[in-house]
Amino acid sequence: MEDNTTINQMPRIGDQAPDFTASTTTGPLKLSEYNKDNWVILFSHPADFTPVCTTEMSAFAVDQQFFDERNTKLLGLSIDSIHSHLAWVNNVKEKTGVYFQFPIIADLDMKVSQLYGMLHDKESSTAAVRAVFFIDPKGTIRLMMYYPLNVGRNMEEIKRALIALQTADECNCALPINWTPGEKAIVPPPKTLAEMDERIKNTEYEMVDFYLAKKDI
């Protein structure tokens, strides 16, 4: 029996973000150029003119300054036309005063959705799930989130995750569960006996044991 199942390979953390050129609400966009020298958060929504999507896109727009201050560009996507996007953006602006100034990809041919594993057949074969990709200035995928069609994303967690990724890069450290700015970071564990002995003697760290030490950042 012939198997006609289509497998959409998802990018993985650490992969180079698949490049593409797409039509958006701000004009043609090539990801590798848009991503140059800054972070990008690429996020999909199932459809324009739907309630949960409107709340999510509005939240991104309201927090635009937060992302600007952290050298991060926003990039939305759904399997809708440019005309639908423009009408929706205008409708939300008229009704709520919130303006989606970031580009939104019109992915009618589903090429980008398939490239990023946003189509999950058990949810929908024609609407993208609520995916979020954090892409660093080197074009590397650093974090991914996937939500089903009926559950909206947590904007506070998206913002926390971005700060955490950038902080971990800056301090060359790891961050513990529920970490928020101002809290201590985890020092990478020692890899040799000499490093372990040095760690045990160190009085600057908050030590649980030699393998679990925290420091101020």
**SS3 track for 59-95:** HHHHCHHHHHHCCEEEEEEECCCHHHHHHHHHHHHHH
Q: What is the DSSP string of 144-200?
A: EEEE-TTS---HHHHHHHHHHHHHHHHHT-B--TT--TTSPEEPPPP-SHHHHHHHH
Q: Does 116 share its domain with 203? A: no
Please say whether the beta carbons of 34 and 40 come within 8 A.
Answer: yes
Q: Does 112 share its domain with 31? A: yes
CATH number at residue 133: 3.40.30.10
Q: Which of 41, 53, 75, 92 is catalytic?
A: 53
Structural domain harbouring 69: 21-154
pLDDT in tens, 33-73: 999 999 999 999 999 999 999 999 999 999 999 999 999 99
Of 7-16, 89-98, 159-168, least confident by mean pLDDT is: 7-16
**CA dist list (Å): 26 to 22, 97, 102, 112, 141:** 11, 19, 8, 17, 24
State the pLDDT at residue 1. Answer: 42
Radius of gyration of the chain (CA): 20
**CA dist list (Å): 47 to 30, 50, 140, 163:** 22, 6, 27, 28
- 40, with CB counted inside 10 A (0-12, 13-18, 19+), is buried
CB within 8 Å of 183: residues ≥ 6 apart = 176
pTM to 2 decimals? Answer: 0.90
Q: Does 112 share its domain with 191? A: no
How confident is the model over 187-215, as a mean pLDDT? 90
Q: Does 66 share its domain with 137? A: yes
Q: Where residue 127 falls among pLDDT bands split at 50, 70, 90?
A: confident
Q: Does 80 share its domain with 133? A: yes
How confident is the model over 81-108, as a mean pLDDT? 98
Q: Does 128 share its domain with 178? A: no
pLDDT in tens, 162-172: 999 999 999 98
| Residue 41: alpha-carbon gap to chain centroid | 4
Number of domains in the chain: 2
State the pLDDT at residue 43. Answer: 98
CATH number at residue 178: 3.30.1020.10
Q: Does 59 share its domain with 118? A: yes
State the pLDDT at residue 160. Answer: 97
State the pLDDT at residue 125. Answer: 78
φ, ψ for residue 73, nearest 5 deg: -100, 145
State the pLDDT at residue 121. Answer: 82
Q: Is residue 143 part of a domain?
A: yes
> CA-based angle 32:38:39, to the nearest 5?
90
- Can you read off the two tokens belonging to residue 144? 């991914």
Asked whether residue 116 carries a pLDDT value surpassing 70, the answer given is: yes
Q: Does 78 share its domain with 44? A: yes
Q: Does 101 share its domain with 178? A: no
**Is 171 tagged catalytic?**
no
How confident is the model over 97-113, as a mean pLDDT? 97
- Can you read off the two tokens belonging to residue 115? 């490239």
